[in-house]
Amino acid sequence: MTTALLLAALLDAAFGEPRWLWGRLPHPAVLMGRAIGYLDERLNHGPARRAKGVAAAATLTTGALLTGFALMALPGQIAEILLAAILLAQRSLADHVRDVANALRLSTAEGRRAVARIVGRDTAAMDDPAIARAAIESAAENLSDGVIAPAFWFLIAGAPGLLAYKAINTADSMIGYRTPRHEAFGWASARLDDVLNWIPARLTAALILAAAGHRPDWSAFTADAKRHRSPNAGWPEAAMARALDIALAGPRSYNGELRDFPFVHPQGRKDPGPADIDAAITLLWRSWALGLAIVAILTVL
């Protein structure tokens, strides 16, 4: 499985998400999103919404596992390698974050438009540092969710593990919100996503710190990570914040409502710009390379 992951990671780094292909075919993540939307529409109403949400999460997980086992039954590992290459997102993540840096160099308005494509918060009133922070936070969090966690579960359980993780992670991104509509129905998906990301988030933080050659005070670093509202996202964000010596997270607006979230690494600079986004992208690739080196070592052991 380690050799398959190495090949998949290299394919993803080389080709990313080619538009000529996904402009003609539905991406697997899109198919997962359609399934989640269908379950949301059919089940998320009436009484017992939490129980229905548990059933939806179980259905998604079971479907993903069965699909993964079917792929494993095919001769060779080509199907698994291609699946992993498609569902790893290192190249596309780096490209999307770089787009924000390039746009911000043109103007604040261009930066807002670019960052709106990768974050869910309100962007219309963002200043330049807020745009840069959002891009860097997205880089750190999605390195965990979109690269390290899928790779981890692929190593643990092959195609079934990878597909099950992506199905639940996609569900969390669609229905795992504490809103009147989804707080009960999305509870199971959100909690399961927390469990599946617990180890990968901490591995990601370790990779970022190692790639940066940064050795923080562990108690202070842990305190930074716990400032974040998420039990997992705080770890890679705290690592990125300390590696770049900038403050991340902090107040932001969702649906017109300002939320006073604390800063992660509040002692860091609060005026990041395009150069800091570039530095974050460099750390993305260094972390990716370090992780790949570890997998290569495991291959020969």
pLDDT per residue as tens digits for the range 122-179: 999 899 999 999 999 999 999 999 999 999 999 999 999 999 999 999 999 999 988 8
Domain that holds residue 176: 2-300
Give the residue carrying structure tokens 């438009």.
113
- 101 with 154: CB under 8 angstroms? no
Check residue 169 and give its pLDDT. Answer: 96
Indicate yes or no: pTM above 0.75: yes
Residues 6 or more apart whose CB falls under 8 angstroms from that of 262 comprise: 227, 249, 250
Of 265, 292, 8, 5, nearest to 137 by C-alpha is 265
pLDDT at 105: 97
| CA 130-91-156 angle, 5° bins | 105
Q: Render pLDDT for 273-298 as a digit per residue (tens, 0 to 9).
A: 999 999 999 999 999 999 999 999 98
What is the distance between the alpha carbons of residues 273 and 291, in angstroms, rounded to a whole number?
27
279-284-286-289 Cα dihedral, nearest 10 degrees: -160
**How many folded domains does the chain comprise?**
1
- From CA 224, how far away is CA 265, in angstroms rounded? 6
| Interatomic CA distance for residues 204 and 206, integer angstroms | 5
The pLDDT, as a whole number, for residue 257 is 82
Low-confidence ranges of the chain (pLDDT < 50): none
Residue whose token pair is 């570890």: 294
